[in-house]
Amino acid sequence: MTNQSSLMALLALVLMIGGAASVQKNGHAEAASAKNEAEIKALYDRWARAFEAGDIDGIMSVYAPGDAVVAYDVVPPLQYKGKDAYRKDYQEFLNQYDGPVHVEYRDMRIVSSGDVGFIHALERFTGKLKNGQSSDSWLRATSGVQKIGGQWLIVHDHVSVPVDIETGKAALHLKP
């Protein structure tokens, strides 16, 4: 074999090994991402079960501790800083209902990398208000999650409804 053909064979071998390592690395990253996404989905499923049960402790168990939580909800104020403030918001919401509030997700997407991720979805809340009126609303929800102490927890929620700019009123009649 000539020096040139030996060099070409060595180069081909290096490229094949590098390509195999890249495929293996990408395979591990994809597996880790799929595992993270399944864990994050399970986190939201636990939240939904606790929400439907009106279990405020269960709801708050999926949130990061202390002041790590910042939330933007559909009701004032502009933001809730800290888990305690957000807990109060949840409790006030649940207190408006006579019985359970059903939660449904649509078009959920979960993205994660390393120890951070986010989710966005359309959420439907249905139930009976204490005044006897039925409630049925679709909302837009985005949450930031972080792996803290080996566990995925919510660090940010942003819940919104579209607004009719001409009237300045929430467009609560919209459905996916």
Q: Which domain holds residue 29?
A: 3-170
Residue 175 lies inside a defined structural domain of this protein: no
Say if 64 falls within a structural domain.
yes
Residue 31 belongs to a domain: yes
pLDDT in tens, 50-96: 999 999 999 999 999 999 999 999 999 999 999 999 999 999 999 99
Q: How far is CA 72 from CA 75, 77, 146, 161, in A?
A: 8, 8, 17, 12
> Residue 75: inside a domain, yes or no?
yes
- Is 176 contained in some domain? no
Tens of pLDDT, residues 131-162: 999 999 999 999 999 999 999 999 999 999 99
Write down the pTM of the prediction: 0.81
What total of structural domains would you count in the chain?
1
**Domain presence at residue 71:** yes
Please report, for the domain that includes residue 138, its CATH number.
3.10.450.50
Q: How confident is the model at residue 18 (pLDDT cuts 50, 70, 90)?
A: low
Q: What is the pLDDT of residue 4?
A: 56
